[in-house]
Amino acid sequence: MIAGYCWPHSGVAGDTIDLMISAVGGSCGVEVLRIGADETSVAFWEVPVTEQPVPDDCATEGCGWAPSLSLEIDPAWQPGFHLVRLHGPDGEIAEAFFVVRAAEPGETLLVLSTSTWAAYNDWGGPSFYTGGHESSQQRPLPRGFLDKPDPHRYRVARFGQLPRAEVADYFDNYSFWSTAAGWANWERLFVSWAERNGVSLDYATSLDLHTQPDLLVGRRLYLSVGHDEYWSAEMRNHVENWVETGGAVAFFSGNTSFWQVRFGDDDRVIGYKLDFHLDPVMGTDAEHTVSTMWSDPLTGRPESEMTGVSFTRGGYAHCRRAPKGSGGYTIWRPEHWAFDGLRLIAGDVVGAEPVVVGYECDGCEMALVDGLPVSTGTGGTPANFEVLGTAPAHLWETSEAPPGLPESYVGELNWVTERLGGGDTPENRERFAYGAAVMGWFRRGHGEVFTTGCTDWAYGLEHDDVATVTRNVIGRYVDLAGGKPGSP
């Protein structure tokens, strides 16, 4: 076995990143690649390695391994995601990562969803989905989180189309959770497209956003991409306060900020989720920080106040026991600036061929006015939220759980009806079962917020309609004059 992790997960030029490796004795090749439009090798070392013990409590306390290599971030290395590929003495390969942050803030910041990666991490112990309540970031990530073959093929929204033998073979080699979290699923696709289209990005992690109140100072656009599910109160505070003063956010993501988490000792991620009654803050003055869903009455702060939408009014799409729809968004307000250049009329669909409305989706309560859907402005959604596009979605009941989930799984539909509907009854399930993915936009204070309302938007970036909307959104806030016209 070979495995490794970096700590800290980010730094600027001159900072030191420690790389911890465990492998059967011998030497290990350490290759550092910056992942952007292409993979670019920036450094290589051959280092001696030994097998390091995996503590029984590594899921919560970390591995505590000794550094195998301490590397200093070279000033010549560009800001970005850096994959550390480990070549073991027996031919095995493993991956770790770190992020190089810009020394001076650029216009656009992409914050990687590392707190969500931690929540799904079951390397060496339980994740939040298999009984865990705390997740150390100082341990390896499961195989497939950082690098995987053909993400377009091996994604939740496509597995139903693949032969069972091929699916089984994939999960024999990659983590079951590698389709639900990690750089390899969404952010990598977005970064590749962005760099090929002249979008200059700065990078940070969830922990950076949590710990650095000034991270957004001097910037114009904040980007969330893919599956950005777990947010701390500090993360929300820093983004929402910045938007109020004139910042702009583009949530090219879904299931966004569904759960509240806290960062504890050694930057571990704390999330009790459905077991919120076990959270030590319950019954204290800090009860509002309880690590359950943000829409829970206990927090008093639904995520839709920040994003405009919520998973509680969305659900799953284009996957097992969920509506397939067209695969794209039916557009209702084609005159909106996000659709400039597309020549749409109301009822046209964007993103169908690549299936951008797949996996997890966020929505809002809606009503029909003159035949068009409008937000009711309830459940935390701002009164000025504009519904731009919709697609069908469905929250799972416990009985609809797909294979592979633990027996302890409680369906989101059951949970939402219990916490928001006043009880898990058939009548309440009818109220929440049939949701929608909602693309939308609103002004907040002096700033603006755009959301795609779906995790899988990045899978459509190589198609003209999705690429055009994405450029329109980014270009509204930053100068893309130097970018390449048209889709890749």
DSSP 302-342: -THHHHS-EEEEEEEESSTTS--TTSSEEES-TTSGGGTTS
Tell me the mean pLDDT in the region 406-429. Answer: 93
Is 329 inside any structural domain? yes
Residue 33 tokens, joined? 């690649």
Is 186 inside any structural domain? yes
Per cent of the chain over pLDDT 70 is 98
Provide φ and ψ at 388, rounded to 5°. Answer: -100, -35
Query: How sure is the predictor about 408, in pLDDT bands with cuts at 50, 70 and 90?
Result: confident
pLDDT at 486 over 60: no
* pLDDT 10s digits, 218-243: 999 999 999 999 999 999 999 999 99
Residue 137 tokens, joined? 């970031």
pLDDT at 401 over 90: no
Helices 426-433, 412-420: axis angle to 10 degrees equals: 110
Is 57 inside any structural domain? no
- Which single residue is written with the structure tokens 């910056």? 34
- The three-state DSSP-derived secondary structure of 459-473 is HHCCCHHHHHHHHHH
Is 44 inside any structural domain? no
* pLDDT 10s digits, 327-369: 999 999 999 999 999 999 999 999 999 999 999 999 999 999 9
Residues in Cβ contact with 86 at an 8 Å cutoff, skipping those fewer than 6 apart: 2, 4, 21, 23, 28, 29, 30, 31, 93, 94, 95, 96
Is 67 inside any structural domain? no
pLDDT score of 403? 81
Residue 216 tokens, joined? 């957004």
Alpha carbons 126 and 256: distance in angstroms, whole number: 23
pLDDT score of 405? 83
Is 52 inside any structural domain? no
Is 88 inside any structural domain? no
Cross-strand bridge partners of residue 227? 254
Count of other CB atoms within 10 angstroms of residue 41: 10
Provide φ and ψ at 166, rounded to 5°. Answer: -70, -40
DSSP letter, residue 140: P
Per cent of the chain over pLDDT 90 is 94
Domain of 232?
A: 101-488
**Mean of per-residue pLDDT scores for the chain:** 96
- b/e per residue, 299-333, with b = 16+ CB within 10 A? bebbbbbbbbbbbbbbbbbbbeebbebbbbbbbbb
Number of domains in the chain: 1
Is 11 inside any structural domain? no
pLDDT at 485 over 70: no
Query: How sure is the predictor about 481, in pLDDT bands with cuts at 50, 70 and 90?
Result: low
- Quote helix, strand, coil % in the chain, to nearest 5: 25, 30, 45
* pLDDT 10s digits, 294-304: 999 999 999 99
pLDDT at 471 over 50: yes
pLDDT score of 287? 97
pTM of the full structure: 0.96
Residues in Cβ contact with 426 at an 8 Å cutoff, skipping those fewer than 6 apart: none
- b/e per residue, 230-240, with b = 16+ CB within 10 A? bbbbebbebbb
